[in-house]
Chain A
């Protein structure tokens, strides 16, 4: 009985998580277009629903009913595999992400995470690395020059940001003495890591922008020079998969920034429910992503690699050494 209840709870949590992750891109696309519009003194979507609120639904219906086109010269197996490969890892990663300590519902304590791994951070970085395969395969399988250029850029870009990103979080692990995200948040109950690790956060966030393939590092899908980059040849539901994956990773980087550097669900000054604090912080980072997108131009990819290897990597290494000397 106990086991059935526990399994049922896990299944419910996973289902809830999947539902939230699949539905969240809808408000996020709306928000992104609204923010883009207002930053450029436009209105953004206005006509479908109140202030265009139903626009993402209309777009979704449009994508679902469109022809699912596979180019004649494409590698059909890889072409079909790539969107799934891009979509799955961001969803899998959220298994390891804690959203709070626990809440009591009907007398039972329910934890706000699916699993509390002791190597959660490692798991997150390992799984999210697989997502890049979706992008690379997608670009390769389409057999189109723009797509393959996009995926070549992704390969080059990935190596230059994954390493500084991994090094940047080592400082956090050293402070918390644990790789469990739950322990990392608990260690920040008094002082957030951003106070001790501003350089680490800077490196993590810049690398995170590259990870989420957002401007200023959206080289793989640079609209201006590559058509649409790796997903040039995709249409309909497969294109929607790539978009959902992109938003899930954007959400993941925001969530990780909050958990690793901004105290997770620990509040400051104003006593709000922990989950609300968490959501507010994540929402702020999502806004920052969109804010950056409509402020900065795109870096050239040699510039991105110069930033990755010559700035972020030395900075993250120095951060590890200084953290080690000061705290151990």
Chain B
């Protein structure tokens, strides 16, 4: 950019529109630079960071038991009142949730349930593709929550992806790591 100022400062640059010429050269060179557009469902997909707050998941302890003690603190702190927990006593005498439902349509993904949980049982994971045609499908029960993917270990990368609409809308990826999207993008 400074070249334009230097050359158009002289009268010869002024007479032959050096500034306009430099502008044209700049846009022309940008035309052949790589686009910043990430073609999300068709070709690329962004991997969330580990701090990302996506779809909730419930954790299990070492014995494979659900960690949740059904204290209902998450339901109490939830600002949009979208968690419903009904406790029961299992055969070992522990308090466990008989019903643990989250209405994803109402959830605002603030992560307060994760902070409030005394048993470290609920957290917000990496999944962000769960749009649905019916808001009824967005009410997720306990067993579904146990199967949801957990926190991401790596993140920020971009992986090749492919949109699959054969039975459900699915964005398939293969690599777990991904590459830095911005390494190839011209940024000056």
Contacts and interface: CB of A to CB of B under 8 A. Distances in A.
Interface of A: 35, 37-43, 46, 291-292, 294-296
B36 interface: yes
Contacts of B33: 41
A41 B30 contact: yes
A295 B27 contact: yes
Nearest to B25: A295
B36 A39 contact: no
B167 interface: no
A295 B36 contact: no
Interface in B19-50: 20, 23-24, 26-28, 30-37, 39
**Which secondary structure dominates where chain A touches chain B?**
loop
Given A35-B31, A46-B39, A41 B186 contact: yes
Nearest to A38: B31
Interface in B112-164: none
A49 to B, nearest CB: 14
Which of A35, A40, A43, A295 has most B Cβ within 10 Å?
A295
Given A41-B35, A42-B37, A295 B23 contact: yes
A296 B20 CA distance: 8
A37 B39 CA distance: 14
A154 to B, nearest CB: 24
B77 interface: no
Contacts of B36: 41-42
A40 B29 CA distance: 11
B27 to A, nearest CB: 4
Contacts of A39: 27, 30-31
B35 A291 contact: no
A77 B36 CA distance: 48
A43 B39 contact: yes
A46 B35 CA distance: 12
B185 interface: yes
Nearest to B43: A46
Contacts of A291: 24, 27-28
A161 B119 CA distance: 77
A33 to B, nearest CB: 13
Contacts of B32: 38
A41 B34 CA distance: 7
A39 B30 CA distance: 5
Given A38-B31, A39-B31, 16 more contacts: A37-B35, A38-B32, A39-B30, A41-B30, A41-B33, A41-B35, A41-B37, A42-B36, A42-B37, A43-B37, A46-B39, A291-B24, A291-B27, A292-B24, A295-B27, A296-B23
A43 B20 CA distance: 25
